Each structure stands twice: as C-alpha cells, then as structure tokens.
Amino acid sequence: METKKILVPVDGSEPANRAFHIALDLAAKDKAEVTLIDVVDANDMLYATSKVMISPEFYTTIKRKGKELITKLEKEIPESIPHSTEIHVGLPGQMIASVAKEGHFDLIIMGNSGKGALDAFVTGSVSQYVIHHANCPVMIVK
C-alpha cells in the first residue's frame, strides 16, 4: 500500500501524541504528506444539563487551545515532511471521517482516547466511529 496522504487527529492525549510520532516516521519513509486535524467537540459547546449554547468567548478560547496544540506539534515536524493543519468544530468521529473522505487521504493514524475505566480493553467511541465510517485504512494507537 502506497501512502501519500496521512490524516492525524490530535487532541493532546498521550495516545494521540504517539500516533503523531508514528505518522511522522511513516511519512518520512514513504515521502507522504501529513495533515494534523483538531476537532473541537460540538458537544463541548453545550452545557451538559441545560443544553444552552456556550458563549462565543468560550468557543474562541477552545479553538485557540486547538491552534496552540497544533502549533506546538508543527514545530516537531521535520522540514522534509510536507504538512498542513486544520481545526474544525463538530462531532469528532464524523468530522474526521468526512475530512478523510473529502481530502482523499490514504490513511488515518489516530490515538485511542477512550476515557472510561476499561480503556485497556475498549476502543474509544470516536475511534470506533472512524473505524466504521472512514473510506481509508485506520491505524489506532494505544
């Protein structure tokens, strides 16, 4: 399988960080392009109990945090690896699968970011969604 375009969802978690480094290694070997994507979860934009939309200031703050994360990771990408970045607001699984399809990516490399007590045994819900809906191979990194 020739890999030319790799999509790497990032969220600041350790599994996502490991996935990022695996993607860089593969991109260097295959001379592939890497796209980092941070998806601000639309569910985080709502108060859990009242379902009232959070202020525009909060929206700006969480988008800025995503940009800070991506900027930090970009500094680790060697100049020899072509790369781009994207920040989206939406449902993470759906957004990742959609971006992968629209961008004609060959591979998604993402961390398993499940947050429950069974993390060691269960794939996170975002990872599960992407595995079942992406139109390209998906590598899940624990």
Determine if residue 51 is left, alpha or beta; phi over 0 gives left, psi from -120 to 50 gives alpha, anything else beta: left
Which uninterrupted H or E stretch holds 2?
A: none
Query: How many domains, the chain?
Result: 1
Q: What is the mean pLDDT of each run of 10 residues along the chain (142 residues)?
A: 94 95 98 96 59 69 86 97 94 96 98 59 78 97 93
Q: How many CB atoms lie within 10 A of CB 53?
A: 11
CATH of the domain at 131: 3.40.50.620
Largest CA distance in the chain: 49
On whether the pTM is more than 0.85, the answer is yes
Structural domain range at position 126: 5-141
Instruction: Quote the tokens at residue 66.
Output: 């995503």
